[in-house]
Amino acid sequence: MKISVMEKTIDLIRERIRDGNARVVTAEEMPVIVEELGEEGALREIDVVTTGTFGAMCSSGAFLNFGHADPPIRMERVWLNDVEAYGGIAAVDAYIGATQKSATREAHYGGAHVMEDFVSGKTVELRALSTGTDCYPRRTITTELLLENLNEATMVNPRNGYQRYNAATNSTDRTLSTYMGMLLPNCGNITFSGSGLLNPITNDPEFRLIGGGVPAFLCGAPGMVIGQGTQHSPAGGFGTLMVTADMKKMSQDFLRAATMTGYGVTLYVGLGIPLPVLDLETVRSTAVRDEDITVDIIDYGIPSRDRPSLRKVSYADLKSGCVELNGEEIRTSPLSSYRRAREVAFTLKAWVEEGKLDLVLPTRKIDTTIKAHPMRETAQGPRVLDIMDRRVFSIGQDEEIRSAAQKLLKGETNHLPVIDSSGKLVGIVTTYDISKAVVNPGKANRVKDIMKKRVITTTMEEPVDIAVRKLEKHNISALPVVDRELRVIGMLTAMNLGKLFGGRWLK
């Protein structure tokens, strides 16, 4: 008669690892194992499940200690290869953040690159300034450092290992450059991130095994989960982790600086956590399949915090390379590397088998009930209605070009919205369009013959920053302000933006 095992202790699993008898598998293998052996069979058979992910994790960085110079300096401002590190700690400590941009090389080099350069054995130039004190008289220092020259280089990433991440698309008619990569117009593609069934938290969504003190694989080094990450939102299915490891033990294979074009610098981090299979609940949670993990496809074309979801999809759908959206097949692509996520899980499996990591249960539990909330804003930023020009000069589309010229002169403006007989905005003419029509007199004699029909507009309620983005993106200097019926109720021109300076918005 077979005795059914309903629970295993962590000590039993550690003993099996010590004896070389432990059976360790990756989370990718679990669904099939459970299918074959049943849940109880899998519990008896499998001791540890390893997880892994390899993707862009902006919220990453490292504490560095440089040792004392002679004469000593209390570094107040610190740069590493021209990337500023936070120096407001002690005399020779600094925190280098992954997304900090180089003062000289902007988008092409940043904190993430400094970290990768250190890890790959390159020299990094340290430059620091100080006001000088009696105990720290030195005011400047410039020196070349290798990672081995630092006392400590401890990676501490405030928010890594997102449980899952919403996919991205773009419904507008222009290309967007986002941290989710390039999003083509008219929902031309979908991008997503995360390794689905291999993701650490996805395999332990109740945080029964993942918590403070638990061992982890971080960028090729043995590390540790500190606790919940920032913006941790497990109640909505978006838990995060704060993790740490010694940078000196990391490998470039699992730590990569990256540039998201039009967005900036970020760090690709390899993260994995081994999960001891203690009970049936662990078996069930580690048998999660891509089909079970759903996310929203978010429209990044809407420039506000609460972007709309266009539909729900599973990681299985996303990984298939194609997702149906509004009756069309849209191609998908990941931004994180599933191949490297697998390598993380495999490396971790080998580590556990070799006894390189000591499996423990959390010494500090992670909250499973909280939800991250948005920022409390005590003052509203300027909106279009605060600075727009309320005098509106417009012209009918059937009027003569000559009258448009007269109106422009009278209004002392360069932009004239064109309306139809019902007062709706149908185009715009500028002094440039009229000059062109005068220089090249052709058949055109009515406003509608020369107007631009594709008008970029704004609304009264729109934040000025969003409107300014439109001006920049389209290389234009005015936006008609329209109401819901597309009637022009004002104009926002580059000149109105001057009101922002010296006004109450900058106080």
Partner 1 sequence: MKLIVTFSRKAGKKPIIAQVVRDTGVLINVERAQIDSSEGEALIDIPDEACTVVKEGLSRLGASVRVLEDIISLDESRCIDCGACISICPQEVFSFDENWKLVVNGERCVLCGRCIEICPQRALSQKEEV
CB of 153 to partner 1, least distance (A): 22
What are all long-range contacts of 132-137, with beta carbons under 8 Å and residues at least 24 apart?
Answer: 133/74, 135/72, 135/74, 136/71, 136/72, 136/73, 136/74, 136/91, 137/71, 137/72
Beta carbon of residue 33, minimum distance to partner 1 (angstroms, whole number): 20
Instruction: Report residue 13: phi and psi, to 5°.
Output: -65, -40
Label residue 47 exposed, middle or buried (CB < 10 Å: 0-12, 13-18, 19+): buried
For residue 176, the surrounding DSSP H or E stretch is strand 176-178
> What minimum distance in Å lies between the beta carbon of 168 and partner 1?
11
Secondary structure class of 173 (helix, strand, coil): coil
CB of 176 or CB of 416, closer to partner 1: 176
Taking the least distance from each CB to partner 1, the nearer of 177 and 406 is 177
Q: Report the helix count and the strand count for the chain, using DSSP H and E.
A: 11, 31
Q: Residue 374 gets which letter from DSSP?
A: P
Which one-letter amino acid corresponds to residue 111? G
- What percent of the chain is helix, strand and coil (3-state, nearest 5)? 25, 35, 40
Residue closer to partner 1 (CB basis): 104 or 363:
104
**Alpha-helical segments (H) within 194-293:** 280-286
Contact 176, 34 (CB under 8 A): no
- Give every CB contact of residue 98 below 8 A, 6+ residues apart in sequence: 57, 58, 59, 60, 61, 110, 111, 112, 115, 257, 265, 266, 267
H-run or E-run covering 352:
helix 338-354
User: Between 264 and 427, whose beta carbon lies closer to partner 1?
Assistant: 264
Nearer to partner 1, 176 or 214 (CB): 176
Judged by CB, which is closer to partner 1: 103, or 322?
A: 322
CB of 257 to partner 1, least distance (A): 8
Find the catalytic residue in 58, 135, 219, 322: 135
CB of 197 to partner 1, least distance (A): 13
Pick between residue 130 and residue 336 the one whose CB is nearest to partner 1: 336
Sequence-separated (6 or more) residues with CB below 8 Å from residue 406? none
What distance in Å separates the CA atoms of residue 47 and residue 52, rounded to the nearest whole number? 17
Comparing CB distances to partner 1, the nearer of 257 and 392 is: 257
CB 217 within 8 A of CB 351: yes
Q: Which residue in the block uniquely carries the two structure tokens 């979908």?
A: 190
- Whether the CB-CB separation of 401 and 437 falls below 8 Å is answered with yes
CB-wise, 207 or 263, nearer to partner 1?
263
Residue 61 · residue 157 · CB < 8 Å: yes
Q: How far is the CB of 204 from partner 1 (least distance, A)?
A: 24
CB contact at 8 A, 10 and 360: yes
Give the C-alpha separation, 312 to 292, whole Å: 12
Minimum CB–partner distance for residue 118 and partner 1 (Å) = 18
Give Cβ neighbours of residue 42 (< 8 Å, ≥ 6 apart): 30, 33, 34, 277, 283, 287
Binding residues (CB under 8 A) for partner 1: these are 54-56, 177, 181-182, 184, 189-191, 256, 258-261, 266, 268, 321, 331-340, 342
Which segments of 106-169 does DSSP mark as H helices, in order? 111-119
Listing DSSP states for 54-114 in one string gives EEE-SS-EEEEE----SS-B--SEEEETTEEEB--SSTTEEEEETTPEETTTEEEEEHHHH
Nearer to partner 1, 55 or 234 (CB): 55
Taking the complex as a whole, the smallest distance from the CB of residue 289 to partner 1 amounts, in Å, to 17
CB of residue 352 to partner 1, shortest distance in Å:
23
- Encoding tokens for residue 484? 């819901």
Q: Is 187 tagged catalytic? A: no
| Least spacing, CB of residue 210 vs partner 1, in Å | 25
- List the catalytic residues: 135
